[in-house]
Amino acid sequence: MVRLYAFNILKYYYKRGTLSQNDLSQAYSMLEGKDISLLNNLVYGTLRYTVKIDFYLNHLIKNFKSQPPASKTILRLGVYQLLSNFEDYAAVNETVNLVKNKKTRNFVNAVLRNFIRQKNSFKLPKNVEYSIPFDFFNYIKKNFRHNEEIFISHLMKRKKCIRVNTLLSSNENISEWLKNNEINYSIIEGLNDLFVINSEHIRLENTSLYDKGFFYIQNPSSYLASKILNPINEDTVLDACSAPGGKTSHLSQIMKNKGKIISVDNDIIRLEIVQKNVKRLGIKNVDTVLADVSTVEFDFKFDKILLDATCSATATSPVHPEVLLRANIKDSLNYQSIQRKILSNLFKHIKKNGILVYSTCTYYKMENTENMRWLTSNFDVEFIKFDSLLNSLNIEYEFDGFGYYLIPNDVFSGFYISKMKFGGF
C-alpha cells in the first residue's frame, strides 16, 4: 500500500512537475509511524536520485525516454530502492507487484534484475554521482569555491531544529522535556534558544508542547536572517513575504512582544498559516496583511524591513530535492525581475537610515549578487558586514562584497543574506 501511494505521488510529479500536496496529505492521513517514514523515503529519495536513476535506466533501456510515464515512474521507484538500503528481492517483487499488465510486469522485472547485475560496472560522471542536473552542477562549480560542500549537501539528511519560544517557555523547560522524552539534542553554541534534534523517532509537530506554542520548528539559516535584522522593542518592522511565519514569530520574540510587526503575504492560505502560528505562539504585536509586496502601500514608514524574497529555492534541495529537477537560468532571471520590483517598492516605505535585510534560499547569483549590485546603482544603500557573527558560529560562507552565501552542512542550509542601511531619497 505504501509503495502504491508513492507510485501515484511520483507519477503525478513526473507528469506535472509539482508534488501534489493533496495526495501527500491524503496518504499521511491513511498511514502511521514507520509507514509515513517509508513513504517519505520512497518519494523524496526517488526525486533526490532521479538524475542518477535516469542515467542507469538510459543505459539499460535504449528507448527509456519513450517509455509510458507509468512505466518510467515504476522503474525509477524500483531502482531507487535497489540503490538504497532495501533488500534486492523485496525491492524487485514489491515494485513488480504494482504493475497489472503481465507484459509490463515481465519488462520491469527484467530491467530491475539486469540493474542488480550491472550496477557496479557503470562509470558515473561527476554530476551523476551527486545526482545533480548537468547545467546546475556546472553553474555551482564555476561560481562557488565551496562547490563540493554544496554538491554533498544535496544528498545529505538535514537535522531538524526547534526554536524555543521564550515568550511562553524557556530553554530549561524545553531541555528537560526533551530529556524526559529521550529525544537526543544539541545546542548550537551562540544560539542558545535553537536546539538541533538528533533523534528521528518523534514527529515534533504532533506533541503537546508544539500545540501549546512552546517551540517552533525552524531552519537555522532562516533564524539568522531575523537575528541579523536585530529589531528593538520600539521598532516598527515589516516582514515581507512572511509565510509561514517563522521569521515573523522570531522577530516578535526578539522584540519581546513589543513594538509593531506588519506581516505581509500575497497568498491567503499561506497568510492564514501565519495567523495560526502567531496565535499558537502567543504573539500580540503582529498584524497580518494580504497584499503583493511589490505594490503594497502604507501611510507610514518602517524602522526595519526583512525581505526573505520569493526565489528559485535551489538551496532547499536537501529537503525539497525536486527543485533541482526544474532549476534553470530563465526562471532565475524571472525571479530577479520580481525581486527588483519588490525592493523598489519597499525602499519607498523605509525610514532614512532604516535597516533592510535581504535573504533568499537560492544559489543563483542573478537573484542575489546581481540584485545587490543593481541596488547600489539605483538607491542610496550602505552594506553592513556581519562576518564576525558567522565566524563565531563556525559557519562557512562566501562573501560577494554585499552579502554572504552560507555554505550548507547537516544543520545550516544554503542561504544568502545581505544587510544594508538606506540613506533616503
Longest CA span, the chain: 72
All domains in the chain, ordered by first residue:
2-124 (1.10.940.10), 160-217 (3.30.70.1170), 220-422 (3.40.50.150)
415 phi, psi to nearest 5 deg: -160, 155
* Cα–Cα distance, 134 to 54 (Å, whole number): 13
Tally the C-alpha atoms within 13 A of residue 416's C-alpha that lie toward its C-beta. Answer: 28
Q: Are strands 260-265 and 286-290 parallel, antiparallel or unpaired?
A: parallel
**Catalytic residue flag (residue 361):** yes
pLDDT at 200: 73
Task: Estimate to the nearest angstrom the gap between the alpha carbon of 415 and the chain centroid.
Answer: 10
**pLDDT at residue 215 in the model:** 97
AA identity, residue 233: N
Task: Decide if pLDDT at 116 tops 80.
Answer: yes
* 3 state SS of 415: strand
CA-based Rg of the chain, rounded to a whole angstrom?
23
Q: What is the pLDDT of residue 159?
A: 87
CA angle in degrees (0–180, nearest 5) for 211-196-217: 30
CB 319 within 8 A of CB 370: no
Average pLDDT of 305-333?
A: 96
List 361, 375, 390, 407, catalytic entry: 361
Return the exposure string of 393-419: e unless at least 16 CB atoms fall within 10 Å of the residue's CB, then b.
Answer: bebebeebebbbbbbbbebbbbbbbbb
Which whole number is the average pLDDT over 376-392? Answer: 96
Q: Does the pLDDT of residue 407 top 80, yes or no?
A: yes
For residue 294, pLDDT beyond 90: yes
The per-residue pLDDT for range 11-50, each reduced to its tens digit, is: 999 999 888 888 888 888 888 878 888 999 999 999 999 9
Residue-wise pLDDT tens digits, 324-346: 999 999 999 999 999 999 999 99
Residues belonging to the binding site for S-adenosyl-L-methionine are 241-247, 265, 292, 308
Backbone angles phi, psi at 242, to 5 degrees: -85, -20
Predicted TM-score of the model (pTM):
0.94
Check residues 306 and 192 and name the one with the higher pLDDT: 306
Structure confidence at residue 25 (pLDDT) = 87
Q: Is 135 helix (H, G, I), strand (E, B) or coil?
A: helix
